[in-house]
A and B are shown apart, each in its own frame.
Chain A
Amino acid sequence: MGGKMKIFSFGVVLTTLFTSFVSLAGTLVINNNQSDPRAKEVMYAFIDAFDKAHPEVTVVVNDFDHEEYKVAIRNFLQADAPDIAVWFAGNRMKFFVDQGLFEDVSDVWESAGLNDSMAASKGSLTVDGKQYGVPYAYYQWGVYYRKDIFDKLGLNEPRDFEEFKWVCAMLKKNGYTPITIGTKYLWTAAAWFDYMNMRINGYNFHMDLMAGNASYEDPRLDDVFDKWAELSNAGYYLEDHASLSWQEAITPMINGEAAMYLMGNFVVPFFEDAGVADNVDYFQFPMVYKGVGMAEDAPTDTFHIPSGAKNKEDAKKFLAFLANPDAAKALAEDNGSLTPNSNATPPSDRFKQQGFAVLSSASDIAQFYDRDTHPDMHGDGMKGFQEFMVKPERIGAIRSRLDKTRKRVFSSN
Chain B
Amino acid sequence: MIKYISKNQIKLAPIFFLAPASCLFLLYVIYPIIDSIWVSFHSWNGMDRGLLGLSGDLKNWKWVGLDNYKELFFDDYEFPTLIINNIKWLILSLLVIPIGLGLAIFLNQNIKEMKFIKPLFFFPFVINLVVVGLIFSWFYLPKYGFLDLVFRSLGLEPIAFLAEESLATYAIIFAFFWPSIAYTMIIYLTGLTNVNREIVEAGRIDGAMGFKMFWYVILPQLKPATFIATVVTVVGALRSFDMVAIMTKGGPWGSSSVLAYKMYEEALFSYRMGYGSAIATILFIIMDIYIVWFLYRLFQNEKSEK
Contact = CB atoms under 8 A, between A and B. Distances in A.
Interface of A: 1-3, 5-6, 8-9, 70-71, 74, 78, 99-101, 183-186, 239-244, 248, 251-252, 375-376, 379, 383-384, 386-387, 390, 401, 404, 412
Contacts of A244: 141-142, 163
Contacts, number: 94
A404 B74 CA distance: 13
Nearest to A74: B46
A375 B140 contact: no
A375 B270 contact: yes
A9 B252 contact: no
Given A379-B270, A386-B252, A401-B77, A74 B47 contact: yes
Given A5-B25, A376-B270, A240 B51 contact: no
B251 to A, nearest CB: 6
Nearest to A5: B24
Given A2-B21, A74-B46, A386-B253, A242 B270 contact: no
Contacts of B51: 99-100
Given A242-B251, A376-B270, A390-B252, A6 B24 contact: yes
B251 A240 contact: no
A243 B21 contact: no
Interface residues of B, number: 38
B135 to A, nearest CB: 15
Q: Is the interface of A mostly helix, strand, loop or mixed?
A: helix
Contacts of B254: 383
B77 A242 contact: no
Contact of A243 (B46, B163, B265): B163
A49 to B, nearest CB: 34
A32 to B, nearest CB: 20
B41 to A, nearest CB: 16
Given A185-B249, A240-B163, A6 B20 contact: yes
A243 B145 CA distance: 12
B271 A376 contact: yes
B48 A78 contact: yes
A3 B17 CA distance: 11
A100 B60 CA distance: 12
Contacts of A74: 46-47, 271
B211 interface: no
A383 B21 contact: no
Given A6-B20, A9-B24, A99-B47, A379 B269 contact: yes
B218 interface: no
A387 B253 contact: yes
Given A2-B20, A5-B28, A99-B51, A184 B270 contact: no
B42 interface: no
A3 B249 CA distance: 34
Nearest to B25: A5
B141 A412 contact: no
A129 B141 CA distance: 49
30 contacts: A2-B18, A2-B25, A3-B21, A5-B28, A71-B268, A71-B269, A74-B46, A74-B47, A78-B47, A99-B60, A186-B249, A239-B142, A240-B142, A240-B143, A240-B163, A242-B162, A242-B252, A243-B160, A243-B162, A243-B248, A243-B252, A244-B141, A244-B142, A248-B141, A252-B143, A379-B270, A386-B251, A386-B253, A390-B253, A404-B75
B141 to A, nearest CB: 7
Interface string B136-151: 0100111110000000
Contacts of A248: 141
Contact of B253 (A3, A71, A384): A384
Contacts of B140: 243
B142 A383 contact: no
Contacts of A78: 47-48
Q: Which of B43, B168, B251 has the most CB of A within 10 A?
A: B251
Contacts of B143: 240, 252
Which 6 A/B pairs are nearest by Cβ-Cβ distance?
Answer: A2-B21, A240-B160, A242-B252, A243-B162, A387-B253, A243-B163
A238 B85 CA distance: 28
Nearest to B64: A412
A244 B253 CA distance: 13
B253 A383 contact: yes
Contact of A5 (B21, B144, B268): B21
A191 B120 CA distance: 45
Nearest to A2: B21
B160 A239 contact: yes
B183 to A, nearest CB: 20
A71 B143 CA distance: 34
Interface in B219-269: 248-249, 251-254, 265, 268-269
Interface string B10-39: 000000001011001101100000000000
Contacts of A376: 270-272
